[in-house]
Amino acid sequence: MTTPHRLLLVNGPNLNLLGTRQPEIYGSDTLADVEAVTEAAASALGFEVRALQSNHEGVLIDAIHEARTDCAGIVINAGGLTHTSVALRDALASVALPVAEVHISNIHEREPFRHFSYITDVAIVHVIGEGVPGYATATRRLIEAIAGVAEG
């Protein structure tokens, strides 16, 4: 079976408000900007992106489950679910796809409850605090990891 050249981009709760939500923390870039940056980075390496944002945990989990049939990896910013959702973490672990965890702000320099991530131990790439350009970094690193597995 050939590895599909597609990534799932998952953005969790409240990321639909990027550009207007706490610009002093998240900047002025929008969710459309996030998707464009990710798609450009993936396209440059021969991959396409299926993007999903939802404020509903079950919708995110269903999309992650579906990704195992037609995606080579997942780029995820789970938003607040990063710090609370064992179910989301288990979904990522269950599909056995490589995962890149992205956070626009530096979660380790924010409120103490944000310092812990349920996603970290199932992700092979971590990009934290690079703003929206961090999505491109995460995408490139994830594709490099996928290509390394495919070549090895």
Which candidate, 89, 95, 59, 73, places its Cα nearest to that of 9?
Answer: 73
Among residues 5, 65, 103, 108, which one is catalytic? 103
Whether 103 sits among the annotated catalytic residues: the reply is: yes
- Name residue 49's beta-bridge partners: 7
Annotated binding site for substrate: 77, 83, 90, 104-105, 114
Distance CA 115, CA 146 (A): 28
The amino acid at residue 63 is: A
Whether 26 sits among the annotated catalytic residues: the reply is: yes
Whether 132 and 30 have beta carbons less than 8 Å apart is answered as no
Distance CA 103, CA 129 (A): 6
Active site residues: 26, 103
